[in-house]
Amino acid sequence: MEICNLSIKELHQGLIQKEFSTREVVESFLERIYRLNPELNAYLEVFEKEAIEQAKEVDEVILTSKELSNLAGIPCAIKDNILVEGKRCTAGSKILENYIAAYDATVVKKLKKQKAIILGKTNLDEFAMGSSGEHSAFGATKNPLNLEYVPGGSSSGSACATAAKMCAFALGSDTGGSVRQPASFCGIVGLKPTYGAVSRFGLIAMASSLDQIGPLAKNVEDAEIVFEAIKGKDEKDSTSCEFDKSEEKEPKKIKIGIPKECFGEGIQKEVVEGLKNVVKILEQEKIYIEEIDIPSLKYGVACYYIVMPSEVSSNLARYDGIKYGMSTLTKPDTQDLIEVYFETREKFLGKEVKRRIMLGTYCLSSGYYDAYYLRAQKVRTKIGLDFKEAFKKVDLILTPTSPTLPFKLGERLEDPLSMYMADFLTVPANLAGLPAISLPFKKINNLPFGIQLIAPAFCEKRLFNFGKFFEQICST
């Protein structure tokens, strides 16, 4: 039995039935990390000593108690923009290279309470800004399924580590598709919960009204187990809330809508063919499918790339060499304060981060605020209303996760517009605050292809139920 191939449920059963010890589980994953990570660059830091100590504690619990939480002894990885007390948290940036977290993020606290074992921190596009995993200050992450291709971003390391079986599951953050798109590119499951379903306390902010922490996992059941562990209201995050959406339809009675934009301009022909194959399989199962119109969907990327950079400009203003982060300040008595700001940000922030800060600062500047930011917020409201109308007709909305198949490393690095268009199908769910999940389907041209399901707010259960049904019919 290859321990690293097992799902969370299988690992849990194996630990309870004493088929293997927690230490054996942890050592199995660590061996894989040390063998594969030098080439993949998924992990920025590995917590070997702490992981083995935690494994001993869980093994003692197993010996003395029959009660064991679903995640006890399960090895996981944490994206390096989520705080783990006493550990470095770089957000993939040189400006935070020496930052040590003073406390645990709420999601980390919840995982520790369940006795999940954190193996380490994973790589990401700097400050979660990127769709390829190539914008990290600590080197690009590679796709474990094909080393010449990108793993997607910004949760590149978390997706890569999960797909390469260097952890049982991982946490990422999703601002415009940063969990779902890398999940699609790496052939795994990725969930973006409803905005507010999971606390953002302890997540280094990129765009606060869009950010959401979500799991990357081998299958839908694993993603559900992790989501159940990390969800819920947190007094330290005023946007978080409790919810209960227990009443759900059977998967076969679900009505699915496919936006007509999924077959239009900007969608790679191989992706369109992949979507048509998904539709055929669902139709064979007598699932109701109709083409729907979400008029404002085509404005999603344009709206997102005004709202997001504006919030980035505000959130990243704190990294100035005085309040937070690395600094060029060497001669306090002679160096001008403005000079410190400029030199620090020039030296320690990457090209993509600077680009988005400048975009956002421009959109918020006097004379342009109404023309850009305010108008984008009105479009954002319209996108939410259009989704609301669509969900009066259907229960779930189906799209490809990405308009393209995975692309090669370096292929789009100097073309930011084509990189931004990789978010075309994922950003609307963030703008509307809706839950969405990426599910792997059959490979196309030997490259992973994922589909996205979007549900009404707080209907994660619907996504999980239909996602498990979809996995079942695809495996037969």
Residues labelled as active-site residues: 79, 154, 178
- Is the Cβ–Cβ distance between 196 and 440 less than 8 Å? no
Q: CA of 386: how far to CAs of 303, 367, 452, in Å?
A: 15, 30, 18
Report how far Cα 334 is from the mean position of its chain's Cα atoms: 44
- CB-CB neighbours of 209 under 10 Å: 17
Handedness of CA 421, 426, 432, 433 (dihedral sign): negative
- Is the Cβ–Cβ distance between 400 and 275 less than 8 Å? yes
Q: At a CB cut-off of 8 Å and minimum separation 6, what does 285 contact?
A: 252, 473
Report how far Cα 404 is from the mean position of its chain's Cα atoms: 18
Q: How far apart are the first and last CA of the chain?
A: 23
Between CA 119 and CA 35, with CA 41 as vertex, the angle to 5 degrees is: 70
Residue 474 structure tokens: 């695809």
Amino acid at residue number 446: N
- Is the Cβ–Cβ distance between 73 and 14 less than 8 Å? no
Q: At a CB cut-off of 8 Å and minimum separation 6, what does 344 contact?
A: 95, 319, 320, 321, 325, 326, 327, 328, 329
